A = this chain, B = another copy of it.
Amino acid sequence: MKFTLHQTDTSTAARAGTLTTDHGEIPTPIFMPVGTIGTVKGVHQSELKEQVKAKIILGNTYHLYLRPGMETMEAAGGLHQFMNWSGPILTDSGGYQVFSLAHRRKIKEEGVTFASHIDGSKHLFSPESSLGIQRSIGADIVMAFDECPPYPSERKYAENSMHLTHRWLERCVAFMKESQPKYGHSQALFPIVQGSSYDDLRRQSCEFIASQDQPGNAIGGLSVGEPIEDMYRIAALCCEVLPKDKPRYLMGVGTPANILECISRGVDMFDCVLPSRNARHGVIYTRQGIINIKNARWRNDFSAIDDSATAAPTSQAHTKAYLHHLFRVNELLGPQIATLHNLAFYLALVTEARERILDGSFSSWKEGAMAGLERKL
């Protein structure tokens, strides 16, 4: 995997680059739609490519490990084949879902034991088993197995947890060295910075993570309930310490406004369930503001959902009144159109951010865009 940095903004820390994987190039900054269990909910793969213009998508190791399971995954030839997605894929380590979804989890030096949220069956995720699963899934980018401490965390807990994540990272790096990809394309490991909301721990974690010299680096443990100022401050701090010549991935962030703020602090990659989950509840992002399409005010609004040239074709083709109707009568097509809309909106936003970084207008463009992104219509 190769990362080329084309431009760093003069008045912010925003960067424009290109990440090259065996499944294609990823322009950065980039937003990665979440394809939890081998599908971005409600979106056909052809739509992801042609309407959303996704350049890379996520898969969740925890979910894919439980269903369809690695026997089927390997028989299929990996996730690209299984779901028929030819672009790049990133998988998380499974750790986050173990902490948020699974039952009876127990953290040990070896790894984490847990009971499946589906059938209660018992499992162990360790640095080695998580990466073994990610080898079976065949993602282009695989994430280190870490502990993501809750917010708030006591300093002592955060510090111990960070050191555990670091020790696990060394085992991850060793496992990647000793094992081989299964499907002929290469897989790059991204370590994850932790340290909760403590600046000195975050700095220490960034330095340790950087010392491992992997192809990219991630910032974890944010967007877990901390004040927004903490998130922005820590994202900025991490980007200052992490190497400039490698992509920086801020995990699980966020709203369109969050994304522009973090791009300006030096983040290159984002993922979040927000645009797709909110879409299923009728929340639609536009440059003019956030629409709750279930609101009666849209009932007879026959303007396009979004008539901007970068909007999803279905958002240009259908009216707000029609989308309001679909949600009102609880029809599948409502979430389908809304999800396409929000994901295409996110991709168009990071695409324009990149263009603005490249032509030097990022800072003023961002200032102008923020009000619309945060307004409720």
Residues of A near any B CB (own CB < 8 A):
37-39, 41-46, 63, 67-68, 71-72, 75-76, 82-84, 299-300, 302, 313-314, 317-319, 321-322, 325-326, 328-329, 331-333, 335-337
Which residues of chain B are near A83, meaning CB under 8 Å? 322
B314 near A41 (CB under 8 angstroms)? no
Which residues of chain B are near A84, meaning CB under 8 Å? 317-319, 322
The answer for the CA separation of A317 and B86 in the assembled complex, in Å, is: 12
The answer for the CA separation of A336 and B83 in the assembled complex, in Å, is: 14
Q: Assuming the A-B contacts A43-B333, A332-B335, A332-B336, are A68 and B314 also in contact, with contact meaning beta carbons closer than 8 angstroms in the complex?
A: no
Which residues of chain B are near A67, meaning CB under 8 Å? 325, 328-329
Q: Assuming the A-B contacts A84-B322, A322-B83, are A300 and B333 also in contact, with contact meaning beta carbons closer than 8 angstroms in the complex?
A: no
Q: Residue of B at shortest CB range from A40?
A: B333
Rounded to whole Å, the gap between the CB of A332 and the closest CB of chain B is: 4
Interface hub of A76, A82, A332 (most chain B Cβ within 10 A) = A332
Which residues of chain B are near A313, meaning CB under 8 Å? 46
Which residues of chain B are near A63, meaning CB under 8 Å? 329
Which residues of chain B are near A46, meaning CB under 8 Å? 313-314, 317
Rounded to whole Å, the gap between the CB of A232 and the closest CB of chain B is: 34
Which residues of chain B are near A317, meaning CB under 8 Å? 45-46, 84
B42 near A322 (CB under 8 angstroms)? no
B72 near A38 (CB under 8 angstroms)? no
The answer for the CA separation of A326 and B84 in the assembled complex, in Å, is: 13
The answer for the CA separation of A51 and B41 in the assembled complex, in Å, is: 20
Rounded to whole Å, the gap between the CB of A277 and the closest CB of chain B is: 13
Shortest beta-carbon contacts, A-B, top 9: A42-B332, A39-B333, A68-B325, A37-B329, A39-B331, A84-B317, A75-B300, A67-B329, A41-B332
Contact of A328 among B68, B318, B331, B332 (CB under 8 A): B68
Which residues of chain B are near A76, meaning CB under 8 Å? 302, 319, 321-322
A322 near B45 (CB under 8 angstroms)? no
Rounded to whole Å, the gap between the CB of A79 and the closest CB of chain B is: 10
22 of the cross-chain contacts (CB-CB < 8 Å) are: A38-B326, A39-B326, A41-B332, A42-B332, A43-B333, A44-B336, A46-B313, A46-B314, A67-B329, A68-B325, A68-B328, A71-B300, A72-B300, A72-B321, A75-B302, A76-B302, A76-B321, A76-B322, A82-B321, A84-B322, A332-B332, A336-B336
